[in-house]
Structure 1
Amino acid sequence: MRDDKLLTKIAALLRQAEGTDNPHEAETFMQAAQRLATAASIDLAVARSHDPAGRTSTVPVSRQIAIGEKGKRGLRTYVQLFVAIARANDVTVDVAGNSTFVMAYGFADDIDTCETLYTSLVVQMVAASDAYLRSGAYKGEEFSRVVTRGTGWRSRRVIETKPLSPITARLNFQSAFAERIGKRLNEAREQARADALSADPDEASRPSSTAVALRDKEIEVSDFYRSESKARGTWQPSSASAGYSEAARKAGDRAGRRAKIGPDREFGGPRGALE
């Protein structure tokens, strides 16, 4: 398990990200927090690879995580955000058919990181989309969706354009927000992995001990997922019939760039479904 000193460092970086109105400073602190979390995950993987007892005592787990209540609109974008965070933290995810919960598969510390990041970011995503709708910026915009016209052999799929509704604006905004967050976290993760590999004294020999440990961890999580998952089919964040708005997506992407990474001011803060 990660020690308190490490969590304190991560918490300090997250609070600094939340405490500045400068988006460039927030970006720096956020990526530093993700790199630190990734570096800790790498250290644990390397330590386990050199400790037979550690490999048997610390194993992948599965955890059900609530996303929202059945019937709430927009849960798919909440799931999309969690999936984006999970991909940057070595966690594999199955999604409930109604998007009310996800099953996360990975090492407990990595799942903890995902939940912590999600707790902060989902609140920011909802707040940012609410502000976008209140601004009225979406009014006058249009969205496109694929619809089926006619029946039987005369049916055909066409692209229909209509005025942008509030719910379609929200869904497009939040989807783009989630995509941008995933890109930001993945960039920080890849930088941390590159730093760890370059610092490995065995880097001259291929593959290095760090690379082997990371590959072993990936295989272990993958094998665990295949043995435990009962999911069928492939989850998609959105469908063509839901509607596409370039303007709302651009606004969501900008908000995702500005988002501050932090778990409600305290690392390991309360988690749970959002109303």
Structure 2
Amino acid sequence: MPGPGTPGASGAVDRAFAAALYADPEADGGRGLDTGASLLAADPAADAELRRRGERFLRRAWERGWQPADVVRLVRRDLDETHVRLVAELIATEAVRYARVAPRWHAQLADIAADLEADRKAGTAPRSADRFSYATTALELYRLLLGLPAIEAVGPVPGTPVHLPAADGEPRMLTRIRALLAKAEGTDFPEEAEALSAKAQELMARHSIDEALLADRAHRGDVPGACRIGVDAPYETAKAILLDAVASANRCRSVWSSAFGFSTVVGFEPDLEVVELLHTSLLVQGTAAMTRAEAAQRASGRKRTKTFRQSFLMAYAHRIGERLAAAAEQVTADAAGAETAGTDTGGRALTAGGGGRLLPVLAAREVAVADRAERMFPETVRTRVRGVTDGEGWAHGTAAADRARVTGSGRT
């Protein structure tokens, strides 16, 4: 009997792949998947080789620009939880070979490992009932992985040299921002959420401006980076518009890839961090407000739930965009005025020669971000937004955006 990794085991996997992955599914009426699963189910010695092939498919995905969270998100959208569990296990195993990965990769791998551990402890991990079912799951997953196209890279491929930041922990400002947004998401009082979000946005703007000036004075030569943020159904158009509004207000560019369920955000690292934080918080706040408004509508006899939600979230995204843009302009103007007066955004005295640098520095960073985004996505198109047909949903969404006020005066 051949053992793992022997020619016999490899041959069984090759035959299964030839039937299930590389044959034309229309030509054989879809029977290739059953044939491949039967071959694997009949040969337990092929299991280890089958998993190794899965890890190779993942490595190919990384080399084509994909990251762990992207793959898990796509598998969850297009397949089911047994496939999600299998790809998570393969990712965790494949990642062991890398001594160093970029910070966002590290965070994604940590999230995947935490989900696997939580499922293990709770005993809720989905499992295939038999060998044939497991082989079918693996082949369906591998077929998806095999078909992943090349996409724009947003970080180094694992195994390549990575510059890791000093292990000083998260900046204190970001810790404060996280805490404020968590409180804003958790409160049932709109006025409290408004005040907390306003303070968080003020701190975000100060953090971004201070980082830009520090990089300029230190001649660090920072360049724009990029990250991906999931945009999940339903109502993904409204969610993508909300993310674009948050990105624009924080001097970033957002490009939505609807086919893959994510947007790519381009910007300088401090700005990318606050975009991720603020978008997540506003989406949580908006969804909670929508649920409350919808419940009130149903109580009065209304039944058009889908159109109400669609219009609500579109209005919410539109209004949030207006308010964020106004907030960004105000905070920047206040910071420029403070700099002219010889202080930074926190009221501290600037060093000699620092005055008057803020606006040119910010302008240069915006040009750099635009250039990076255009090089990454030279063929982007704008799409007309449709589907806003519910006046009450629009009115409630606009009101919710006003309650989730994120404009900061720039003053403490």
Deviation at 1:22, TM superposition (A): 4.9
Single out whichever of 87-96 and 2-11 deviates more from structure 2.
2-11
Q: Which residue of 1 aligns with 2:324?
A: 185
What do residues 68-96 of structure 1 show as CA deviations (whole Å, max 9, x unaligned)?
A: 2xxx3311111111111111111101111
Determine whether 1:88 maps to 2:257.
no
Question: For residues 273 and 229 of structure 2, what CA distance do their matches in structure 1 show?
Answer: 11
Question: For residues 166 and 16 of structure 1, what CA distance do their matches in structure 2 show?
Answer: 28
Question: For residues 198 and 247 of structure 1, what CA distance do their matches in structure 2 show?
Answer: 42
Determine whether 1:61 maps to 2:61.
no
The 1:124/1:30 distance shift into structure 2, 3 A limit, reads closer
Deviation at 1:9, TM superposition (A): 3.0
Deviation at 1:173, TM superposition (A): 0.5
Which SS does the other structure have where 1:50 is aligned?
helix
Which SS does the other structure have where 1:136 is aligned?
helix
Determine whether 1:166 maps to 2:312.
no
Question: For residues 188 and 244 of structure 2, what CA distance do their matches in structure 1 show?
Answer: 27
Question: For residues 44 and 243 of structure 1, what CA distance do their matches in structure 2 show?
Answer: 39
Question: For residues 238 and 260 of structure 2, what CA distance do their matches in structure 1 show?
Answer: 9
Q: Which residue identity is paired with 2:307?
A: T
Aligned residues: 228
Q: Which residue identity is paired with 1:218?
A: E
Single out whichever of 125-134 and 8-17 deviates more from structure 2.
8-17
The 1:40/1:188 distance shift into structure 2, 3 A limit, reads same
Alignment of 1:130-141 (within 5 A): 130-136=291-297
Question: For residues 253 and 174 of structure 2, what CA distance do their matches in structure 1 show?
Answer: 23
> Of 350, 371, 375, which aligns to 1:223?
371
Question: For residues 224 and 362 of structure 2, what CA distance do their matches in structure 1 show?
Answer: 14
Q: Which residue of 2 aligns with 1:79?
A: 240
Deviation at 1:61, TM superposition (A): 0.9
8 Å Cα contact 2:238/2:317 also seen in 1: yes
Higher helix share: 2
The 1:90/1:22 distance shift into structure 2, 3 A limit, reads same
Question: For residues 362 and 200 of structure 2, what CA distance do their matches in structure 1 show?
Answer: 20
Determine whether 1:212 maps to 2:353.
no
The 1:3/1:66 distance shift into structure 2, 3 A limit, reads closer
Q: Which residue of 1 aligns with 2:190?
A: 23
The 1:165/1:37 distance shift into structure 2, 3 A limit, reads same
Question: For residues 192 and 253 of structure 1, what CA distance do their matches in structure 2 show?
Answer: 23
> Of 186, 205, 210, which aligns to 1:43?
210
Q: Which residue of 2 aligns with 1:199?
A: 338
Question: For residues 235 and 183 of structure 2, what CA distance do their matches in structure 1 show?
Answer: 30
Task: State the structure with bigger RCO (CA 8 A, min sep 6), 1 or 2.
Answer: 1
TM-score by length of 1: 0.72
Q: Which residue of 2 aligns with 1:160?
A: none
The 1:222/1:84 distance shift into structure 2, 3 A limit, reads same
8 Å Cα contact 2:240/2:256 also seen in 1: yes
8 Å Cα contact 2:198/2:405 also seen in 1: no
Q: Which residue of 2 aligns with 1:256?
A: 401
8 Å Cα contact 1:64/1:103 also seen in 2: yes
The 1:132/1:4 distance shift into structure 2, 3 A limit, reads same
Single out whichever of 104-113 and 93-102 deviates more from structure 2.
93-102
Single out whichever of 10-19 and 226-235 deviates more from structure 2.
10-19
Single out whichever of 210-219 and 39-48 deviates more from structure 2.
39-48
Determine whether 1:247 maps to 2:408.
no
The 1:19/1:122 distance shift into structure 2, 3 A limit, reads closer
Q: Which residue of 1 aligns with 2:6?
A: none
Question: For residues 299 and 314 of structure 2, what CA distance do their matches in structure 1 show?
Answer: 15
Q: Which residue identity is paired with 1:223?
A: D
Q: What percent identity do the matched residue pairs reach?
A: 30
For structure 1, the residue ranges without an aligned partner over 5 or more in a row are 142-163, 262-275
For structure 2, the residue ranges without an aligned partner over 5 or more in a row are 1-164, 343-354, 407-412
Question: For residues 198 and 219 of structure 1, what CA distance do their matches in structure 2 show?
Answer: 22
Bigger CA radius of gyration: 2
The 1:73/1:11 distance shift into structure 2, 3 A limit, reads closer
Deviation at 1:36, TM superposition (A): 1.4
Question: For residues 3 and 117 of structure 1, what CA distance do their matches in structure 2 show?
Answer: 16
Q: Which residue identity is paired with 1:214?
A: L
Higher strand share: 1
Question: For residues 187 and 131 of structure 1, what CA distance do their matches in structure 2 show?
Answer: 27
TM-score by length of 2: 0.50
